[in-house]
Amino acid sequence: MAEKKTNAMRILDSHGITYTEHTYDYSDGILDGVSVARKVGEDPDHVFKTLVTRGDDRNYYVFVIPVAAKLDLKAAAKSVDVKSIEMIPQKELFPLTGYVHGGCSPIGMKKKFRTVIDETALIIDTIIVSGGKLGFQIEVDPEALIRVTEAELAAITVS
């Protein structure tokens, strides 16, 4: 159990959603998703990253995809009914979400953003997402994650 619960963990607790915490050492500065999956001893297909984007409509959108995958920008834009989306600059992440790069969870951002989870999340029993703090990951039932984030599912990755 974590020494201190993150906001994401408190939100899951408040919804009665069970989860497993995974911690990892990030002192080496290596924070890419595949490396984090290896650090927690999990298959990269089961570990998902949270990407924050801005649409051409000036709204922000959150996409949750496997760490080894790339976001298909056209498919992602189509999934939220906009013409185009782009990744936000890293410097905007913390002020917008309350989370730092490498610790951005789809659960508990400062504001509620429309969230889309890659449909591959449903082919496995549990997925792992950031726990909202560097060094913390949360393993949770994908259906529970969909409920708590009010997410939609779509095919949003490039093979």
> Which of the 8 DSSP states describes residue 82?
-
Structure-token match 């298959």, residue found: 43
Q: What is the pLDDT of residue 30?
A: 86
User: How confident is the model at residue 31, as a pLDDT?
Assistant: 86
Amino acid code (one letter) for 110: K
Predicted TM-score (pTM) of the model is 0.94
Question: What topology is assigned to 7-158 in CATH?
Answer: YbaK protein (3.90.960)
Tokens of 54: 């801005």
Instruction: Quote the pLDDT of residue 142.
Output: 97
Per-residue pLDDT of the chain (159 residues; tens, 9 = 90+): 445 889 999 999 999 999 999 999 999 988 889 999 999 999 999 999 999 999 999 999 999 999 999 999 999 999 999 999 999 999 999 999 999 999 999 999 999 999 999 999 999 999 999 999 999 999 999 999 999 999 999 999 996
CA distance 65 to 54: 17
3-state secondary structure of 126: coil
Quote the pLDDT of residue 1. Answer: 47
pLDDT tens per residue across span 11-55: 999 999 999 999 999 999 888 899 999 999 999 999 999 999 999
| pLDDT at residue 29, rounded to an integer | 86
Cβ–Cβ < 8 Å for 50, 36: no
